[in-house]
Every structure is written in C-alpha cells, then in structure tokens.
Amino acid sequence: MARKFFVGGNWKMNGTLDSGKKLVAALQEAKLDPNTEVVVAPPALHLLFVKELLAKDSKIEVSGQNAYHKVSGAFTGEVSVSQLQDAGVPWVILGHSERRTIFKETDQDIAEKTKAALDHNLKVIVCVGETLEEREANKSIDVVVRQLNAAAPSVADWNKVVVAYEPVWAIGTGKVATAEQAQEVHAAIRKWAAEKVSKEVSDSLRIIYGGSVAAKNCRELAQQPDIDGFLVGGASLKPEFADICNARL
C-alpha cells in the first residue's frame, strides 16, 4: 500500500487569533490534494480556536506543538498529553529541534513524551535531526539513529507515528538540504526501521522532511522515493503552504 503523503504546518510562536482565522480560511478555500493528509499546529493558546474553525472541514486536522508526559500536576506553563486528548486534539509534535536545542530536551525526554502521547491515543510527529557541526563531522546518520533508538522502545504502534527529519542547520536559516542529501538520510531512517523494527513497519512508516521547505523546492523533494511529505515552518504562515500541500500534483 502506498504511503499517504503528509504535510504538517508548524506555526510555532507566531500569529494572532485574526491571522489564524485568515490562514484557516485560505486553506479551506484552496483546492488541496485529496491524497495528502494535512495537519496544522497553532500555538497552544490558539489550538482550540483553530480546531473549532476546522470542525466542518475533515480534510485538515490540528496538532499540539509540544506536550508534557505527566498527566497533571504542578508543572506551570505546560500542556499535558491527557489535556490534548481531552480536547480532541489528535496530533502532537515531539522532539522538534527548537525543543532540543533551545529548551534542552534530551532523547530520554522525547522518549517519555512519545510513550505518554501514544498511551493517550495521540498520533505523534517525532522529530530527529543533526546540527551543522554534526553534519560537517559526517555524523548525520549516527545522530538520527541515536535519536530514533531512544524513542523506539516507547512505540507500540508505528501506525500512529510520523518521523520528521529536520536538519537543525536548515531550520529557519533559508538553507535547505538538497533533494539528494535529504533522500540519503530518509533512506537511512527507513533502513533503520527495517532492521530495528520490521520490514512491514519500514515499508509503511511515513518519513517527512522539515527545514526551510518552500514552494520553490517542495516538488523536487517530494519526488524522492523515501520522502513522504513535509513539516513546514515559516512557509506554513504564507499562501504558498497550499502549494506545498499539493507538491505531488
């Protein structure tokens, strides 16, 4: 069975209620590829507002940008996986490079969050990727495999997981991995899945690319055999996001 193309829009800490409403309206008016699964991740404060706007449109789902693994407690400022589940939010992004680099989340932190999210019936976009220093030291695949090895024991059902390869050096910098560079790491991730989990999981696992994805480069990337979609940052706040969702048309 062919893997369904997946495009996530990570709005990060951007926007207002009004701008979010306009983004949703633009997506609803766009003719999106029906064979592409589209998910948007607004800031936590706007999550339920956007979810309500999209309620009449089953083509697009919402995602949390992060979640804490504890069900509840004295964790000021955090949103728990159980709260996302209770609010009917189906997806959550975990392990984004900004969480790892700025907020110092470890591989073990991501593993705990992944297990908690899956235990609460959320679907998870697990992010992995290397820094520029690690890439220049030819450690890209070693880093990604280390991150995946940490998360793998937390996953009981790989059908609920999308892996996002996001080279840190290409996020928000305007730089983008070439199609060949991205494909090389995606192929390594699929090989890892075959060896670590199973051939069946390897064949069905959706591996998406994130890192300055834009309308100008999405089609070449989408043609690569192991790239099954994108996790889009800045461009998800622009009209071109619809073009990225249609990268395989």
Region of 238 (left: φ > 0; alpha: ψ -120 to 50; beta: rest) is: beta
* DSSP letter for each residue of 88-137: T--EEEES-HHHHHTS---HHHHHHHHHHHHHTT-EEEEEE---HHHHHT
Q: What phi and psi, each to the nearest 5 degrees, are found at residue 71?
A: -70, -40
184 catalytic per annotation: no
Given the residues 96, 98, 112, 134, the one annotated as active site: 96
Residues 129, 139: contact at Cβ < 8 Å?
Answer: no
Q: Which of 98, 130, 134, 166 is catalytic?
A: 166
**HEC states along 52-87?**
HHCCCCCCEEEEECCCECCCCCCCCCCCEHHHHHHC
Q: Can 61 be counted among the known catalytic residues?
A: no
Residue 50: which of 80, 79, 87 has the closest Cα?
A: 87
The catalytic residues are 96, 166
